[in-house]
């Protein structure tokens, strides 16, 4: 991944796909810590740990992770914020409702973007009260999490909405191979959704994403570089 152009390597030991089972902390640490140590010993590329458990985050930081990626936005284990603060780690706060097993029951929005923005603002307040510097926080709109396909496409389309840009933090977007893409592509398996992923990544970059989380690194690096050029020119060209 690093040789293919990845700027961050994200390591996770528990699947968070819809309906996935819970992995206990000891098992999760057994899965991720050797990998994090191995990567940190071989490259200076930052390592991120994808966990919502404070104990796993603490061990991962000690093993060499410098970013904690919490899909729950501190809702599952608020103590994780203090761990990130003490470890001087970056903290990704994703928008999510409920748990993976029943998150679609919470996919009800009167005003999608305003609600996502408001709930992320609450998560940021929890983090900063625990001592995480605002500058260390990255936000994730939670594509595919507690969102029907129309909601996932909606947050991608409106990432530059004032309700989200007012939070004034970098955005991480993770559309790669997710099931919401089937609403546009049909019933393709995850590995068959890379072209759809490329379109979603392009759209995300054009509307303001700073980081994209992907599987096919080599291919998506090309996609991001082209989209980045287009976004830079749009920003530099005055509108008529």
In whole angstroms, give the CA distance from residue 234 to residue 39: 37
Predicted confidence (pLDDT) per residue in 135-189, tens digit: 999 999 999 999 999 999 999 999 999 999 999 999 999 999 999 999 999 999 9
Residues marked active site are found at 178, 213
Count of CB atoms situated within 10 Å of the CB of 164? 23
Task: Write out pLDDT tens, residues 37-63.
Answer: 999 999 999 999 999 999 999 999 999
Q: Please report the pLDDT score of residue 96 as a whole number.
A: 95
Beta strands 47-50 and 9-12, pairing class: parallel
All structural domains of the chain: 9-173 (3.20.20.20)
Q: DSSP code of 171?
A: B
Task: Give the sheet arrangement for strand 47-50, strand by strand.
Answer: 9-12, 47-50, 67-70, 90-94, 137-140
What is d(CA 119, CA 96) in angstroms, rounded to the nearest whole number?
9
Tell me the per-residue pLDDT of 22-35, one tens digit each, with 9 for 90 and over: 899 999 999 999 99
Q: Quick one: 231 exposed, middle or buried, by C-beta within 10 A (0-12, 13-18, 19+)?
A: middle
End-to-end CA, the chain? 41
Taking Cα atoms as reference points, which of 84, 162, 88 lies closest to residue 121? 162
Q: For residue 239, what pLDDT band results from cuts at 50, 70 and 90?
A: low
């Amino acid at each position: 991944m690093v040789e293919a152009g990845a700027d961050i390597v994200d390591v996770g030991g528990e699947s968070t796909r819809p309906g996935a089972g819970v992995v206990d902390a000891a098992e999760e640490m057994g899965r991720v810590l050797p990998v994090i140590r191995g990567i940190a010993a071989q490259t200076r590329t930052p390592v991120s740990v994808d966990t919502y458990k404070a104990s796993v985050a603490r061990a991962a930081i000690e093993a060499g992770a410098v970013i904690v990626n919490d899909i729950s936005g501190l809702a599952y284990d608020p103590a994780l914020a203090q761990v990130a603060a003490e470890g001087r780690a970056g903290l990704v706060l994703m928008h999510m409702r409920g748990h993976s097993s029943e998150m679609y029951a919470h996919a009800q929005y009167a005003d999608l973007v305003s609600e996502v923005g408001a709930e992320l603002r609450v998560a940021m307040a929890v983090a900063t009260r625990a001592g995480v510097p605002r500058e260390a926080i990255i936000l994730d709109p939670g594509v595919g999490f507690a969102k029907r396909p129309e909601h996932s496409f909606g947050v991608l389309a409106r990432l530059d909405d004032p309700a989200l840009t007012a939070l004034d933090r970098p955005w991480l977007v993770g559309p790669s191979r997710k099931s919401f893409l089937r609403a546009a592509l049909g019933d393709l398996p995850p590995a068959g959704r890379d072209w759809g992923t490329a379109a979603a990544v392009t759209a995300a970059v054009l509307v303001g994403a700073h980081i994209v989380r992907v599987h096919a690194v080599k291919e998506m690096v090309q996609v991001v570089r082209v989209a980045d050029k287009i976004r830079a020119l749009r920003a530099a060209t005055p509108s008529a």
